[in-house]
Amino acid sequence: MRTNLNAKPISEINDLNTLGKVNLTPNYQRRPVWSYKNKVYLIDTILQGLPIPKFFIQIKVDSKTGKTIYDVVDGQQRLTAIFDFINGKMEDGKEFILTKKQHPKPESFPERFEGLSFKTLPGNLLDEFWRYKLSFEELEDANDKEINDMFIRLNLSGAKLNNQELRNAAYNGDFKGMVFTVAEEQDDYLVENKILSATDVKRMLDAEFISELFAAMIKGLQDKKKTLDKIYAEFDSMDEDEVIAWKKAFRSTLSLLDKILDEDIKTTRFHNKNDFYSLFYVLYDLTKNKNYKISPEIYPEIRQALIELSKNAFLGSTNPDMLKYFEGTINAGDIIANRKFRHTILTNLLEPFCIPRDSKRHFTDFEKQFLWHSAKEKICGICTTEIAGYDDYQIDHVKPWDKGGFTNLGNAQLAHETCNKSKGNR
């Protein structure tokens, strides 16, 4: 790895950013976490001509396009603040205005800056802003390990990296990709239902929570977050079909949970992370591991049972199980013993509502042949038209397996292959 110290005016860096050459979010990078006050302080420092720490960037060339890209290794928060000021808006869409109220040291804030935005900067200040030089340590010929190590070292000071931000820097495989894809999909749901806060999302705690849920699905209940690093490493390389299957299972489980609780999740204890974790995994365990079906007709009864549990699990409850459940969510709620206890309570509560599915999912070739040859008329049970030949035929469940139908000849019918595929679980 070679390094080269260079200085560039803000005008040049902004040009590079406008051309799409500045990458603020390489895979190892954290999410923007700076507050409004942090950003105002930085812009105030620049406008006063005071020095700020140097930036570290990795210079890369796209071999296909020949385009030079500048990956920001250290200084993402500062560059984001500068670009936000130029664009006139914060991440949340609020107007970026310099004000004493939003300055961490209001006594040192110059009165002449009060109420200024980028668009209203006086000519002399605007010129000084564009000409202000930023110092860059340019890193060339560095491999991923060297860059990741440098990122972690550089971030040992300042806003300390949490465990998930460290994982994000250390891993770049399929498990991480799966987790972050799902986290991005579900962030609005998690924040709207008060399971996580917007600040949690900024610090990647959404990805950590989704990681824990995937870890439970793949490996069973885990003790705290001790195994997350091992799971990130073990599943660094996954088959594409495997990733698709796990994401599908996650989404279907979350959809089931959401349909059962409907609008009530925010008013019950299940918006707490420990409770949500347990309910999510119990629903996954019942429907995927134990092969149960939960009928939509029974959702209101399950919802009421969960609401009753939520009401009865409190400090001072006369029910010893409910008291233990409550204490096991407040004190060390993520240790394996408490997770197992909650799992038992919720399983015992929900299992009576479940319908056992036939353990046999698919018809055998013999059953397919027998039904075909024993049928006097080769009529599709779905569209009721004739099936031209055996190659266009599939054996189909009359009552769908997913809805509790058995996989035997008593619940079988002839179907066109195309009709059967379009039917799904209807």
Q: DSSP assignment of 126-194, as one string?
A: HHHHHHPEEEEEEEES--HHHHHHHHHHHTTSSS---HHHHHHHH--SHHHHHHHHHHHHHHHHHHHTT
What's the pTM?
0.65
pLDDT average, residue stretch 393-405? 89
Percent share of the chain, pLDDT over 90: 64
- Residue 158, pLDDT > 70, answer no
- Asked if 270 and 278 touch (Cβ cutoff 8 Å), the reply is no
Instruction: Check: CB of residue 79 under 8 Å from CB of residue 13.
Output: yes
Instruction: State the Cα–Cα distance between residues 328 and 339, nearest whole angstrom.
Output: 8
Under 8 Å between Cβ of 356 and 364: no
The neighbour count for residue 329, using CB atoms within 10 Å, is 22
- What whole-number distance in Å separates Cα of residue 29 and Cα of residue 296? 43
- DSSP assignments along 230-265, one per residue: HHHHHTSS--HHHHHHHHHHHHHHHHHHHHHHGGGG
C-alpha 203/C-alpha 198 separation (Å) is 9
Highest mean pLDDT among 77-86, 161-170, 260-269: 77-86
Quick one: pLDDT at residue 147?
A: 80
Rg over alpha carbons for the chain, rounded to the nearest Å, is 29
Mean pLDDT of 88-96: 85
pLDDT tens-digit series, residues 10-57: 999 999 999 999 999 888 777 778 889 999 999 999 999 999 989 999
